[in-house]
Amino acid sequence: MMKIVDLFCGGGGYAYGFLMANPIFEVIFAIDIDYRAIETYKHNIPTTHTLIEDIRNVHSTDILKCTGEKEPDVIIASPPCESFSSANPGRMRREYDQLYSDEIGRLFLEAIRIIIDLEPDYFFIENVAQIASFEMKKLVKYEFKRSKYKKIYFNILRAENFGVPSIRKRVFVSNIEIPQKPSQRTSKTSQEAFESLQTDRFIANHEIMPSPKNFERKIPHLPSGVALVYFKGSGRKTYRNFVRLEKNKPSPTVMGKSRFIHFEEHRICTVREHARLMGYPDTFEFLGSIESQYNQVGESVPPILSEYIAQRILLALNN
C-alpha cells in the first residue's frame, strides 16, 4: 500500500483522485481547520483518520501518533492560495512578503515543514500559477535546501487538458516531474459537463438556490460569457463573477466565491453543477452549509488531475 497524508485536505477532492487511480493508495491521515470540509471528507473517504486543527499547532510527531507511527509514502498538500493569487486585491507586492510576512502565505511553509520532517517518497503541493514565478521559485527551493529533496519541480498543469470542463491552471510543487498533457483542440464544454443532470433521479447537492434579489431581473437578459459582477484584482487586472456560462466552452476557473449562471436557464448553477465543472463524480457528496459546499468545490483540486498525478507515481515506481 502507498500511504498518503493529506494536508489542508478540504473536502477531499485531491485525495479522491488518488483513490480513483488505484486501490494501492490509502489515505491514512488528513487535516484541515474547517470542520465542514472535514465532514465532507469523512463522508466520502470514511477510512481516513481526520483531524480538525490549525496546522501551525501540529508537529510531525502528532501526525505519526495519529497514523500509529506509520510513515507516509506520499504527502499531498493544498495550502490556501489567496496570498499568492492575482485575484486578491490585497495581495502583498513582493513575493518574499507573500510567503514570509503574510500570515496565510506562511501556511505554505508549514506544508514544507511537515514534508521535510516526514520525508515521504513523493510530495505534491498544489497552488496557483504565481507560485512558479521566478522569485517565488527561488524562495521555495531555498526552503528545501537542507532537505533530502535535491531537485524541486514546479509542474504547471492545465485542468482543461485533462478533460475537466473548466479552465484551471495550477502548479504542483513536487520532487518529481509531471509532464503536461498536450492542449486539446476541443476541451470538454459546460453543456457536456451538465449532461444527464436533468433527470428525475435524486442527485445530491443539486438543489436550486434562489438568485440574489438584485440580480433576479438582470439574469434573463444576460448574454453568454458576460458577467454581472466585475471586480479589481491585484494590479490592474479585472475579474468577473456571476458569469453566464457558454454552453460550447469550458467554464471560467471555479473558485470558492465563484457563482455561475446556467447557460440556458435563468438561475445560478447548483453546487452539483459546480462540482461537475470541476470533474467530480456524482457519487462525491458535499456536506455543510450551501456557502461552504460551493467553497469546498471551488477551493479543491479536480480529482481528475490528482488521478493523473497518482498514475505518474505508479509509472515512476514501475520504472
The pairing of strands 153-158 and 169-174 is antiparallel
Closest CB to other proteins among residues 56, 232: 56
204 binds other proteins, rule: CB under 8 A: no
180 binds other proteins, rule: CB under 8 A: no
Of 16-24, 97-105, 153-161, 294-302, the segment contacting other proteins by CB under 8 A is 97-105
Of 28-36, 51-59, 288-296, 306-314, the segment contacting other proteins by CB under 8 A is 51-59
Q: Which amino acid is at 196?
A: S
CA distance 118 to 284: 30
Min separation Cβ 75 and other proteins, Å: 14
Q: Which of 22, 35, 61, 180 touches other proteins (CB under 8 A)?
A: 61
Q: Which of 33, 82, 86, 100 touches other proteins (CB under 8 A)?
A: 100
CB 281 within 8 A of CB 235: no
Number of Cβ within 10 Å of residue 236's Cβ equals 6
Catalytically annotated residues: 81
Min separation Cβ 288 and other proteins, Å: 28
146 binds other proteins, rule: CB under 8 A: yes
Q: Which of 60, 133, 161, 191 touches other proteins (CB under 8 A)?
A: 60
Of 78-86, 99-107, 194-202, 212-220, the segment contacting other proteins by CB under 8 A is 99-107
113 binds other proteins, rule: CB under 8 A: yes
Q: Can you give the chain as a three-state secondary structure string?
A: CEEEEEECCCCCHHHHHHHHHCCCEEEEEEEECCHHHHHHHHHHCCCCEEEECCHHHCCHHHHHHHCCCCCCCEEEECCCCCCCCCCCCCCCCCHHHHHHCCCCCCHHHHHHHHHHHHCCCEEEEEEEHHHHCHHHHHHHHHHCCCCCCCCCEEEEEEHHHHCCCECCEEEEEECCCCCCCCCCCCCCCHHHHCCCCCCCCCCCCCCCCCCCHHHCCCHHHCCCCCEEEEEECCCCCEEEEEEECCCCCCECCCCCCCCEECCCCCCECCHHHHHHHCCCCCCCCCCCCHHHHHHHHHCCCCHHHHHHHHHHHHHHHHC
Of 18-26, 57-65, 129-137, 192-200, the segment contacting other proteins by CB under 8 A is 57-65
Closest CB to other proteins among residues 146, 185: 146
106 binds other proteins, rule: CB under 8 A: yes
The number of residues that bind other proteins (CB under 8 A) is 16
Within a 13 Å sphere around the CA of 192, how many CA atoms are in the beta-carbon half?
Answer: 14
Q: Which of 22, 56, 138, 216 touches other proteins (CB under 8 A)?
A: 56
Q: Which of 24, 33, 52, 58 touches other proteins (CB under 8 A)?
A: 58
59 binds other proteins, rule: CB under 8 A: yes
57 binds other proteins, rule: CB under 8 A: yes
Of 3-11, 93-101, 152-160, 285-293, the segment contacting other proteins by CB under 8 A is 93-101
Q: Which of 1, 22, 35, 101 touches other proteins (CB under 8 A)?
A: 101
Q: Which of 1, 22, 89, 97 touches other proteins (CB under 8 A)?
A: 97
Min separation Cβ 57 and other proteins, Å: 6
| CA-based nearest residue to 125, from 138, 115, 135 | 115
Q: What does the binding site for other proteins look like in residue numbers (CB under 8 A)? A: 56-62, 97, 100-101, 106, 113, 116-118, 146
